[in-house]
Structure 1
């Protein structure tokens, strides 16, 4: 009976240890883990498991230089939050374009936040809370006071840079999911 009691304690201890290790492993996810959600940087894209598709799409994108020049000054008045999925074809197409465009206009990285989301369009830390993110990528433009000005969602209405130009110059623009 005493041995049976000790075996139960050992099994209980093993179960508790396993549960704790599982929880710790989930908390230690990095942008290099495929199921990571949260803040992710351009450097993470370039060097992590995303580097193959990111670097290829970044290099392939050649924005219209005339439009880039028109975007250069007004975009600096904004803070940008990007919600994307590293698993999502639309995000894999549009996120490298955005980052190349921002590099072309010398956009300050401190004014950009990019969040990797899961298939449910959420992050473990709820960065998307109150932002009405239902499709990825969603690129939200905020003024310096933190008010949302407009957003690009999933795919361009014209071309990527033309859509961004309309947003940053306050021209009439609606993403495909905006309610009229």
Structure 2
């Protein structure tokens, strides 16, 4: 019985892993784009690494703001909805990952969803997220949405994130 459960676990793991970091060809550009649920590893593919790594290296978040956010790392989760075809996503998502790395933010509290130009995640239903522009960074506390950073930050990613957290944690 245990062997059957173990085999079943591995089969399910393999099948679910195949759905992550899926690529399709963009109708407009004819180039690969990511679609559906992904993780950071998807950006290591050469189709995406050239812009991801370049933007990541260039971004320098403010240390004092990072220190203020670090105190709340275990209190919130993030969903990122982006399109690898979108110039704003190509700029802001690597910057956001740089911020998350400096925060030592837990990877398991990040959900990354890639969509096509029609705002479709293919096998990932995002209709309830009401996405109008990408990237959209949705911040949650205890499963409840507390704020968003949409397309471009108002001040900076770190300042906008801190404001969202302070407005909701100090109530």
The TM-score by the shorter chain falls in which range?
0.7 to 0.9
- Is 1:166 aligned to 2:152, yes or no? no
Taking a change above 3 Å as real, the CA distance of residues 29 and 72 of structure 1, as seen in their structure-2 partners, is: closer
Change (3 A) 1:69 1:117: same
Out of 140, 149, 153, the position equivalent to 1:152 is 149
Give 5+ residue unaligned stretches, structure 1: 1-26, 172-180
Q: Matches of residues 135-150 of structure 1 in structure 2 within 5 Å?
A: 135-144=133-142, 146-150=143-147
Q: Take 2:163 and 2:153, find their aligned partners in 1: how far apart are those partners?
A: 11
Which of the two has higher C-alpha Rg?
Answer: 1
**2:87 is matched with which residue?**
89
Query: What 5-or-longer segments of structure 2 have no aligned partner?
Result: 1-17, 25-31
Out of 119, 126, 137, the position equivalent to 2:117 is: 119
| Equivalent of 2:41 in 18, 25, 43 | 43
Cα distance, 1:28 vs structure 2: 7.4
SS at match of 1:49: helix
TM-score (norm 2): 0.77
TM-fit CA distance, 1:59: 0.7
State how many pairs are aligned. 144
